[in-house]
């Protein structure tokens, strides 16, 4: 059996480098793998100071078929891109 850590990125993901369709690896996902199916940035203005606050979200489908949103500011240091064991390229469900 191969070590799963050989086929994941050395650095955690960030909002700009994750694409819809990317296979992701993390202990926070059921089955440890999930596919990014959507991403967005949400924002709001604070009621008292009228300050602009934004946060990044990715929607994933995990290995068990559950779909949920993950707030990247809380979990991005635990999520990594998975790479193909032969080509060492990122695995993306939407690319041929």
Encoded tokens for 75: 């979990």
Is it the case that residue 1 has pLDDT exceeding 80?
no
Cross-strand partners of 35: 23, 61
Count CB neighbours of 29 within 10 A.
Answer: 22
Q: Residue 2: what pLDDT? A: 47
Domain ranges of the chain: 8-81
Domain at 8-81, CATH from 2.30.30, 3.40.50, 1.10.1740, 2.60.40: 2.30.30
Residue 92 pLDDT level (bands cut at 50, 70, 90) = confident
The whole-number average pLDDT for the span 26-53 is 92
Q: Are 19 and 92 in contact (CB under 8 A)?
A: yes
Q: Residue 39: what pLDDT? A: 96
Q: Are 2 and 82 in contact (CB under 8 A)?
A: no
Q: For the chain, what is the mean pLDDT?
A: 87
| Reported pTM | 0.82
Count CB neighbours of 81 within 10 A.
Answer: 22
């Amino acid at each position: 059996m191969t070590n799963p850590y050989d086929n994941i990125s050395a650095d955690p993901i960030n909002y700009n480098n994750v694409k819809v369709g990317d296979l992701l690896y993390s202990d926070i996902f059921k089955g440890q793998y999930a596919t990014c199916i959507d991403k967005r940035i949400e924002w709001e203005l604070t009621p008292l100071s009228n300050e602009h606050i934004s946060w990044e979200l990715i929607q994933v489908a995990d290995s068990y078929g559950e779909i949920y949103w993950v707030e990247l500011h809380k979990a991005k240091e635990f999520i990594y891109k998975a790479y193909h064991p032969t080509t060492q390229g990122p695995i993306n469900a939407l690319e041929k």
